[in-house]
Amino acid sequence: RRGSFIGLVENLLDMSKVEAGTLVPHREWHLLEDLVEGAIRRVEMSLESRSLEVNLGEKISPIFVDGIEIQQVLINLLDNATKYSPAGSLVSIVGRMMPNQVEVRVSSEGEGIPQEELVSIFDRFYRLKGPRTRLIRGTGLGLAICKGMIEAHGGRIWAESQNRVVTICFTVPTPEAPTMTIFDREEE
């Protein structure tokens, strides 16, 4: 009970930073694999009754992000995936390099999300409508916080729902390597 109260306070503090525009990522180089592994460890108990599949492309470069924030995004997405999917179902994390960005997709099998609600799920305090979702504990802040954190990184987050599989996708830009001009000593 105490842990859920602390979690609520942390969510409210994160949300207030997002809304005030004071959420400034403290970027460092991280391996996506390390951030995913850390997030999985944090939600291990709730993942126990699910099959977990992780597929991170071999060619994913290190990413220049706030590791704490991106790991929190992954924790929130995995937490939602377990809350809204039945025991025994599949939860997957897929990462891949794209031009100038890394894309991460967290998918889970469940009831799906009606197309008209896909954009609204990122609004603060938004909860899905339906008899089953009323039984699920939550504040409706998790995805709004994820959106704020990803956008603070210059990325994008969105949801897809097809055939009872919900996928939350996000991208974070990969900075270009600094360019250097090399002079030939003979030209000087």
For the chain, the domains span 2-176
Cα 38–chain centre separation: 13
Q: Domain 2-176 adopts which CATH fold?
A: Heat Shock Protein 90 (3.30.565)
Burial of 186 (0-12, 13-18, 19+ CB in 10 A): exposed
Residues of the chain below pLDDT 50: 1-3, 177-178, 180, 188
* pTM of the shown model: 0.82
Q: Sign (positive/negative) of CA torsion 134, 86, 115, 99?
A: positive
pLDDT number for residue 33: 95
Q: What pLDDT score was predicted for residue 90?
A: 94
For residue 117, the model assigns a pLDDT of: 81
What pLDDT is recorded for position 107? Answer: 95
pLDDT of residue 178: 47
Closest CA relative to residue 150, chosen from 56, 57, 74: 74
